[in-house]
Structure 1
Amino acid sequence: MNALDDRFLTRNGLAARQLAVLLLGVPPDTRLPRVRDLAQELGCGNGTVQAALRLLEESGGIETSARGHLGTFLVASDRAVLWRLSGLGTLLAAMPLPYSRRYEGLATGLRAAFDRAGTPFAITFMRGSDARAAALVEGKVDLVVLSRFAADRIAAEHAVEIVADLGPGTYVGAHGLLLREGVSLDKPGLRVAIDHTSQDQRLLTERAFAHRADTVWVESSYMQLRDVFARDQADATVWNLDDVQDRIGMGVEVHPLDGEVTRGLSPRNSSAAVICRADSAGKALTAFRDALAPDTVVSTQAEVVRGDRMPSY
């Protein structure tokens, strides 16, 4: 550890770490808050703030310019240096299992965006939006990727915030009704596979068969659908059509969903959203908003979906 690093363990250095977090989200040519205002926010003295700013400048994290009565302006900043000095570590994002090319493209796009911003970033894969949301609320991950529909519901129930909506077609292409060949939708006691860990699948499936009183519900994760149909344990379900034939296999017909089933959901259930804890003190929230270039993520995802780019995450 060099002398400069040692200084970041002092009182002035700890204030510099806090300032680094605050400055991660400040664009160039922005007037900085007054020293006394920063001191009040950080709970320290004016001299400590001034020393902290000098530390950040000496480290190459920022460049400032005093402009007389106009105040002090941030001329430039190095996001990678500020992130390292802040001590925030690696952001961990929870995503759906990468079973489709669309999800692989989304993971690749997010990785590219954070790498470009110089922000350490890692991905963990978890099945079910409820499981991912619980991991976020419990502080096990910093960011969660899910559909905008699921994000709206979770944000209404927990102290989380939606920090990005990547637009229609970024989460799924479409949902459809899967029906075993030779089975009629009018079959009495139709066995319908449902995954209660997925808000999107559960709601769409319940809507699709809401008119029936004789439905036999078969609990099944989307990762088990192939086996469920192959073993004659279910007759129908509703699910994401991305790569569906590869996952389910032959012997299953795909039908479009009735407009009443998807009413009020499109395009929310096809749009990828990212949420973080509202009390994250600027960590995931600021980092994600600043690091993410939505157009880059979406265009990278499209390249992967088309096969023009190899997934890398």
Structure 2
Amino acid sequence: MKISDVLLSKNGHVTITLAKEFLKCQVGKRVPTVSQFSEKYQLARGTVQNALTSLQQCNAIKLDAKGHKGSYLVKKNVAILLKFIGINSIVGVMPLPYSKRYEGLASGLMVTLENNFDISPAMAFMRGAKNRTRMLLTNRYDFAIISKIAAQHIIDKDDNIIIALSFGPQSYLSEYVVIFSDEKHTEIKDGMRVGIDNEYVDQKFLTEKVCKEKNVTYVNYDYSQILQRVIQGDIDAAIWNKDEIEEKLCDVKYYPIEILSPEANEAVLVVSKERPELATLLNEIVDPKAVIEIQQLVLKGKITPSY
């Protein structure tokens, strides 16, 4: 039986739905019964059974029925399941690669996204976790790279994304620091003008956390302008990425943030909550340890970034 014939049949959409379900199932585990699928998706039992038969006839899955114990997934062919679902490419979006750390992360992701499922990987770049998540939720992109602290904030607020993969401490950046226009300052004080980007989840959250209970004036700038605004004296202080300061050899004083949340430094890969099958697929394809190994090689100058 050809996949195209199944998809064009009257049960085609049901087969696609079950293909997504089996992409999430682990081999060796018990699978939902026909009745459970029928109840979950409000479908006739016969319709569900026909879809299961089609998946097995196309060698997408192999089930072992054990009577009252239910059926178990003995084998699944991810490549065939992906053809049913219609996934032939994976496009991610991450921060602009303005630091070696981001270049290393992008390089590691592109290398590990190469796969045996005939899926073409691609990466796009966009500033701001809000912007990246917004585009993710319109299905323009399949996954997004943001910081763990941004992901947790978005999940707490809207609960519309899933953290599929985490890449560990300092995979997103080395640390955030506070920078000052006047080198005599070592901490943010009352009366200061503090730069903030309301579209940049991490920077906004940390700025408000550092300035809590302080009488400061927030001045909204695009994140890419804040460093220069501090240097020029247009604002007195801001929270900034230490990696960029050091790589650009900026003549600006900076100090560590004592109350910094470690989640701000960790990169995570998120997908839409409406597409949990992508979380399963990306877990099968991407090895976080391999990504970080490549990132470290880029940071140490042992390999040239490639993304």
Same structural fold, with TM-score higher than 0.5 when normalized by the shorter chain? yes
Corresponding position of 2:48: 49
Alpha-carbon shift at residue 289 of structure 1 (Å): 4.5
The answer to whether the Cα contact below 8 Å between 1:106 and 1:301 also exists between their aligned partners in 2 is yes
- Please say if residues 165 and 271 of structure 1, whose CA atoms lie closer than 8 Å, have aligned partners that are also in contact: yes
Secondary structure of the residue aligned to 1:24 is helix
Instruction: Establish whether residue 75 from structure 1 lines up as the match of residue 74 from structure 2.
Output: yes
- 1:249-294 CA-to-partner distances (Å, cap 9, x unmatched) read 442233333x2x42xx2x111122333333x053434434454433
Opposite residue 154 of structure 2, the aligned amino acid is: I
Paired with 1:56 and 1:210, the residues of 2 have a C-alpha distance of 57
Q: Secondary structure at the match of 2:243?
A: coil
- Pick aligned residue for 1:199 from 191, 198, 201: 201
Residue 66 of structure 1 deviates from its aligned partner by: 4.2
Query: Is the contact made by 2:90 and 2:120 (CA closer than 8 Å) also made in structure 1?
Result: yes
1:154 to partner: Cα distance = 1.3
Structure 1 residues 122 and 250, CA gap change in structure 2 (3 angstroms)? closer
- The one-letter amino acid of 1:220's match is Y
Question: Where does residue 252 of structure 1 map in the other structure?
Answer: 252
Distance 1:250 1:201 in 2: 19
Shift of 1:216: 5.7
CA spacing shift, 1:121–1:245, aligned 2, 3 Å: same
Match of 1:27 in 2: 26
Deviation at 1:127, TM superposition (A): 1.3
Aligned to 2:265: 270
Whether 2:300 is the aligned partner of 1:306: answer yes
**Paired position in structure 1 for 2:184:** 184
1:191/1:61 Cα in 2 relative to 1: closer, same or farther (>3 Å)? same
CA–CA distance in 2 between the matches of 1:211 and 1:47?
63
The separation in 2 between residues aligned to 1:150 and 1:27, in whole angstroms, is 30
Unaligned stretches of 5+ in structure 1?
none
Aligned counterpart, 2:132: 132
Aligned to 1:17: 16
Give 2:36's aligned residue.
Answer: 37
Counterpart of 2:200, as a letter, is: S
Q: Using the TM superposition, give the Cα deviation of residue 10 of structure 1 relative to its aligned residue in structure 2, in angstroms.
A: 0.4
Alignment pair present for 1:223 and 2:224:
yes
Amino acid at match of 1:204: L
Deviation at 1:26, TM superposition (A): 1.6
Distance 2:208 2:70 in 1: 59
SS at match of 2:115: helix
SS of the residue corresponding to residue 172 of structure 1 reads coil
Question: How is 1:54-203 mapped onto 2 (pairs within 5 angstroms)?
Answer: 54-67=53-66, 70-88=69-87, 90-116=89-115, 118=117, 121-163=121-163, 164-180=165-181, 183-185=183-185, 191-203=193-205
Q: TM-score, normalised by structure 2?
A: 0.80
Q: Which residue of 276, 284, 304 maps to 1:282?
A: 276
Percent identity for Structure 1 against Structure 2: 29
Task: Determine the C-alpha separation between the residues in 2 that align with 1:13 and 1:4.
Answer: 9
Structure 1 CA distance for aligned equivalents of residues 33 and 201 of structure 2: 46
The alignment yields a C-alpha RMSD, in angstroms, of 3.3
Counterparts of 1:66 and 1:308, CA distance in 2: 53
In 2 relative to 1, CA 78–131 (structure 1 residues): closer, same or farther, beyond 3 Å?
same
| Number of equivalences | 303
> Distance between the aligned counterparts of 1:14 and 1:216, measured in 2?
55
Shift of 1:104: 2.4
Contact 2:227–2:240 (Cα < 8 Å) also in 1: no
Distance change (3 Å), C-alpha of 1:294 and 1:250: closer
**2: distance between equivalents of 1:33 and 1:207?**
46
Contact 1:183 1:235 in 2 (8 A): no
CA contact (8 A) 1:28 1:76 kept: yes
Correspondence 1:241 to 2:242: yes
Deviations for 1:179-230, whole angstroms, at most 9, x for unmatched residues?
34x64228997554332222222233345455764x5654333323454356
Is residue 160–residue 275 contact of structure 1 (8 Å, CA) maintained in 2?
A: no
2:199 match: secondary structure? coil
